[in-house]
Amino acid sequence: MEKKLGYYSVVASIATSIVIVLLFYLLAIGKMETKPEMYKLVDVYAGMLYVFVLSMIVSASIWPGIIEKKLKG
């Protein structure tokens, strides 16, 4: 069960982070269209990387507990 917990946690963390990064991208592109002189595309890409790393840290600490409860229950 320990191997499955680790595998499921990594997959869930990556999936959650990708969804959050895509949401960030859509919102950032929308903001770029309203104020094109304020942000460049490289700012959006750097922000996506930053959001991905932060969301991986947070989701990697949350998902193992949730998955362990689901596997036991």
What's 37's DSSP letter? T
What residue ranges do the domains of the chain occupy?
2-64
Band of residue 4 on the pLDDT scale cut at 50, 70, 90: confident
pLDDT of residue 1: 57
- What predicted TM-score, i.e. pTM, was given to this entire model? 0.86
What digits encode the pLDDT tens for the residues 16-72?
999 999 999 999 999 999 988 888 899 999 999 999 999 999 999 999 889 888 888
Structure tokens at 46: 């750097």
**Cα 37–Cα 19–Cα 35 angle in degrees, nearest 5:** 10
In the chain, which residue ranges form alpha helices assigned H by DSSP?
A: 2-34, 41-72
Closest CA to 51 of 73, 18, 27, 26: 18
